[in-house]
Amino acid sequence: MPLTILDIALLVIMLMSGLLAMVRGLIRELFSIGSWLAAAAAAAVFYPQVLPFTKQYIQQDSLAMAATVGGIFLLTLFVVWIITARISDAILDSRVGALDRSLGFVFGLGRGLILMVVAFLFLTWLLEGQDPAQAGANPAPTTTCAQNPSRQPAWLRDSKSYAVLCSTGDWLKSLLPDDPEAMLKNLKKPKD
């Protein structure tokens, strides 16, 4: 069986992600993720203190909140990025630079796989649709793999990477909370 479009896309995305991460190195890739997390945390923690200052200049509440959160996020991201770039450059120029680049390549391959799995989950969700016979009660499928393979194009269904994408998708979905909506509501509740 020859490679399908899905197989080729998986190989290209994983290779591109791996090469990019190899050039940047594992430490810079991890610091990059950490920078985004730090910026999000700073925005969540500090926006209540900065919001009154912003409201002096922006009267509309939603716009003031967006400007405050966005400003804190971008400022933190920029500052942390400058610090982490200097650290990761020092590591790349050191004796462990080759190891950092090699591990970066492996990290990039994994990141490329995760990106393709997320795209695969979305595509299979779109193609599955809802069966008219189950219009009233549609329980969530227990697996990413097609419940009705006839709805999937041959390039998807017959790909060599189909089983890997299905099992990885199922694993990713198992990591999600059972009720994400309730979890988000709990996060939004004001603390007494």
Q: Is there a domain that residue 183 lies in?
A: yes
The token pair at 58 is 């922006």
**Main-chain dihedrals φ then ψ at residue 159, nearest 5 degrees:** -75, 150
What's the mean pLDDT in 20-37? 94
Listed range (6-15, 60-69, 146-155) with the worst mean pLDDT? 146-155
Distances in whole angstroms, Cα of residue 171 to Cα of each of 18, 107, 121, 164: 22, 18, 12, 11
Q: Is there a domain that residue 134 lies in?
A: no
| Residue 89 lies in domain | 5-128+141-188
* pTM for the full predicted model: 0.74
Reported as a single tens digit per residue, the pLDDT across 141-175 is 555 565 666 678 888 888 899 989 999 999 998 88
Number of H helices, E strands in the chain: 7, 0
Reported as a single tens digit per residue, the pLDDT across 92-148 is 888 888 999 999 999 999 999 999 999 998 888 888 764 434 444 444 555 556 566
Instruction: Report pLDDT for 135.
Output: 40
Q: Is there a domain that residue 158 lies in?
A: yes
Q: Is there a domain that residue 136 lies in?
A: no
Q: Is there a domain that residue 22 lies in?
A: yes
Q: Is there a domain that residue 28 lies in?
A: yes
Q: Left if phi > 0, otherwise alpha if psi is -120 to 50, otherwise beta: which for 129?
A: left
Q: Based on the structure, what is the number of domains in the chain?
A: 1
| Among the listed residues 102, 128, 112, the one whose alpha carbon sits nearest the alpha carbon of residue 168 | 112
